Amino acid sequence: MFEGKSIIEILNMGGVTLYILLGCSVLSVTIICYKIFEFWSKSRVTRVEFIKKLTKYVEDGKLDEALDYCDSVNSPLASVSKAGILAFKVKGETVSENAMEREIMIQTVNLETFTTILATLGSMTVYVGLFGTVLGIISAFHDISAVGAGGIAVIIGGVSEALMATAAGLSVAVPASVAYNFVAKKIDKFVIQMEYCVSALEEVLFKNRSK
């Protein structure tokens, strides 16, 4: 059916919905690539490695060095720890805990950037594809009524072309849904790591205050 046809001709066969789905596909792939790179860059330092080095600075009373270390690490853990240490230096451990909890919320919102778009694409594109198919089939049956029963064999090709919209919709929706589930799971993991970091840092800061 597609032999000898260009991409533009294939898109024209499916109508305007294929152009919409193409745009959705490009957007979805862009967001997926962005989130993969973002999570990779923020996971280059492991939780164990980060906490071990940070707590060593704090235990030795080197809070400025601890802050410098946080600035050198691109991770939500570093941002949460920095907020806690800064608050601890000014007002003490209770305020430090509150500051870290607030920073966890901020970092979680940052990690969730664009995830709503992925979820929307995962659910919406299926219906866009079905809509395109329905329009194509309506057009095909309209042609059948115009040419009579003798043209049914020709019109079958139009129906098959209309079904391309459904296939295209699924091809966009499935990767977007899988990617959204992956991103959501990764964000949950980051949140758990941040909460663990808060607990570990609170313990060390309390010991540091008691000295």
3-state helix vs strand vs coil in the chain, percent to 5: 90, 0, 10
Helix axes 152-210 and 7-14, enclosed angle (nearest 10): 100
pLDDT at site 134: 86
pLDDT at 133: 84
Is the CB of residue 98 less than 8 Å from the CB of residue 87?
yes
CA angle 85, 88, 91 (to 5 degrees): 150
Per-residue pLDDT of the chain (211 residues; tens, 9 = 90+): 555 555 666 666 667 888 889 999 999 999 999 999 999 999 998 889 999 999 898 888 888 999 999 999 999 999 999 999 888 887 665 567 788 999 999 999 999 999 999 999 999 999 999 888 888 788 777 766 766 655 565 566 667 777 888 888 999 999 999 999 999 999 999 999 999 998 888 888 777 665 5
The 8-class DSSP code of residue 144 comes to H
